[in-house]
Amino acid sequence: MPLIGDPFPELEVQTTHGLIRLPSHFAGKWFILFSHPADFTPVCTTEFVAFQKRYDQFQALGCGLIGLSIDQVFSHIKWVEWIKEKLGVEIKFPVIADDTGKVASQLGLIHPNKGTNTVRAVFIVDPKARIRAILYYPQELGRNMDEMLRMVKGFKISDEHGVAMPANWPENELIKDRVIIPPASDEKTAKERLKKFDCYDWWFCHKEVG
């Protein structure tokens, strides 16, 4: 099972958009791979609509989307058609048909104590094809796509500025939308940071980003 910080495994997958090789399909981009328990189920349908409603926002962040379940490709195609016909939402991202369960097994998406379907897993992968975050949700709880947008935004700022994000960023209860400076590693830097940044103490300094 891959872990945070690991390279995303190389996979060749059948999707609603044809054969795709991962992670090279998203070379130089962020991407989110998310699994769902099954096609033609209510919670999963709401999730697909929610992802698509935010598709342009993910695209603006340079982040692709790709879904997955252990259904066959014809089931995916029919479900995506149903969503367009009945709900007026066109799903633009590909969906992996993992009917053999090989990919799900490799990525750790089937949790035996929660049944034989894939759980609601999320892998956030950076442009260097490194896994930056992994989220697991049970079948009965739909995901929050705005949190995934927040995470990609936070990762991009962290990578660019070498900072960390506080809880509930960008609406933190202490420092609002400001970011946290990494702690100093020596006494001299600790004293300098008290003069250079806004600080609660030398180990808790924060600043604004552009």
Please count the CA atoms within 13 angstroms of the CA of 74 that sit on its side-chain side: 0
pTM of the model: 0.94
* Mean pLDDT, rounded, for 91-96: 98
Q: Tell me whether residue 44 is one of the annotated catalytic residues.
A: yes
* Mean pLDDT, rounded, for 20-24: 98
| Percentage of residues in the chain having pLDDT higher than 70 | 100
**pLDDT single digits (tens) 135-180:** 999 888 999 999 999 999 999 999 999 999 999 999 999 999 999 9
* Mean pLDDT, rounded, for 4-33: 98
| Percentage of residues in the chain having pLDDT higher than 90 | 90
pLDDT-based confidence at residue 89 (cuts at 50, 70, 90):
very high
What is the edge-to-edge ordering of all strands in the sheet holding 179-181?
Answer: 179-181, 204-207, 198-201
Nearest to 117 by CA among 132, 135, 99, 129: 99
Of the candidate ranges 21-25, 131-135, 188-192, the one whose mean pLDDT is the lowest: 188-192
Nearest to 179 by CA among 160, 148, 132, 128: 160
Neighbours of 138 (CB within 10 A): 12
pLDDT at 116: 77
pLDDT at 1: 83
pLDDT at 154: 98
* Mean pLDDT, rounded, for 63-87: 97
How far, rounded to the nearest angstrom, does the alpha carbon of residue 110 sit from its chain's CA centroid?
A: 18
What value does the mean pLDDT of the chain take?
95
Interior angle at CA 32, CA 29 and CA 34, nearest 5? 160
Question: What structural domains does the chain harbor?
Answer: 11-145 (3.40.30.10), 162-210 (3.30.1020.10)
Distances (CA, A) of 180 to 56, 58, 77, 189: 29, 25, 45, 15
